[in-house]
Amino acid sequence: MATIHDLSWWYRFLTGGLLGAGLLGWPAGIFLAMLWSAVQIVNVIWLTRHYTAFPAQVRIGYLEMLIAGLWGPLQWIYWMLLAGITVRLPFGYCLLGRILSLAPWNRWQPFSFPFVRRTFLSPQAPVPPCGEVFRRMSLERVQG
């Protein structure tokens, strides 16, 4: 699980803060959360060397939902995203990552109810796929 010692945790913390500020009345917060999400995408693609890497997919999906919330009837998505990032920070549970792991291009197991149940109800791995790239980067800096 990502901790305050991980870059990915700080990325999410700042994203959640900006989004929360936007929802509490500072309109620029939502646009800055979008900009900050774009920076994260560029950073993850640079680290992984491919836009289809799972951490990049999660961040691209998050940015897409932020953009979708600009349309009036979908503004409720912002509250869902804020709730998700609020759970993600202390507990490491990444609902968006688990949903994306069910996409046909991210799985090799057949789609079944037990597979879906296991995907959503299994405990969080010590290092989630969304944070793996940053964990490796931190280790390389310490060792190198």
User: What's the one-letter identity of residue 111?
Assistant: F
How far from 116 is each of 15, 92, 122, CA to CA, in Å? 28, 19, 10
Question: Which residue is listed with tokens 């920076």?
Answer: 39
Measure the CA–CA gap between 64 and 31, rounded to whole angstroms: 13
pLDDT digits (tens, 9 = 90+) for 25-67: 999 999 999 999 999 999 999 988 888 888 899 999 999 999 9
Share of the chain above pLDDT 70, in %: 83
Indicate if the pLDDT at residue 142 is higher than 50. no
pLDDT digits (tens, 9 = 90+) for 78-99: 999 999 999 988 888 888 989 9
Measure the CA–CA gap between 54 and 136, rounded to whole angstroms: 14
Measure the CA–CA gap between 110 and 117, rounded to whole angstroms: 13
Measure the CA–CA gap between 33 and 10, rounded to whole angstroms: 13
Locate 30 and state its tokens: 């939502």
- In terms of average pLDDT, the best of 35-49, 111-125, 130-144 is 35-49
